[in-house]
Amino acid sequence: MLLRRFAAAVLAALAVTGVQAVTAAPAAAAPRVLYYDASQAQEFKSVVAQGAQIWNSRVTNVRLEPVPAGRTPNIRVYADNGWPRAQTTSLGNGRWYMGRQAVNQGYYQPRIAAHEFGHLLGLPDRRTGLCADLMSGSSAPVSCTNPNPNAREASTVNSNFATAASVPAQAFAWSS
């Protein structure tokens, strides 16, 4: 009984300390906002927005927002008959293509969109073959319907934008 009371007291003390620690911490920095332009994504406009939402629900240091009128987008999204692919000019800037070649083969569209946004957020391809990895891209089976980054991918993106990591210009293709 005594032990239990002691444990309760410790827990209460920890709770108080925890609350103090939270209130004493500096306010979190505002996430960096990247504007994307899906106006040229043709039939894929809504899946592009879905890809952006997936990232917004998984990371805190960066947000993908539709570009407001009159503003230059960071990211332009296109659609064509080739492979999905991304071309970055720097971290958070560049373009990607929703390629119908993969769509027609049956690859899950929200996964393609989130994957290509992943390149713009500083992630390279990692062809692990695992559906749990977003950046495994086309190396995962066509049947893979996981559109979400795994914890490691999300935390890499968070640290990229926490430190404004320098990412060189690169090109990535869904299938090599």
Site for Zn ion, rule CB under 5 A? 125, 137, 172
Among 43, 65, 116, 153, the one annotated catalytic: 116
| Nearer to Zn ion (CB atom), residue 58 or residue 111 | 111
CA–CA separation, 131 and 142 (whole Å): 9
Nearest approach, Cβ of residue 88 and Zn ion (Å): 11
| Nearer to Zn ion (CB atom), residue 45 or residue 127 | 127
Tokens in use for 139? 């190396």
Q: Is 43 a catalytic residue?
A: no
Nearest approach, Cβ of residue 168 and Zn ion (Å): 16
Nearest approach, Cβ of residue 135 and Zn ion (Å): 7
CA–CA separation, 148 and 70 (whole Å): 31
At a CB cut-off of 8 Å and minimum separation 6, what does 57 contact? none
Order of all β-strands in the sheet with 75-80: 62-66, 32-40, 75-80, 93-99, 85-90, 170-173
Question: Is the separation of the CB atoms in 98 and 113 below 8 Å?
Answer: yes
Active site amino acids: 116
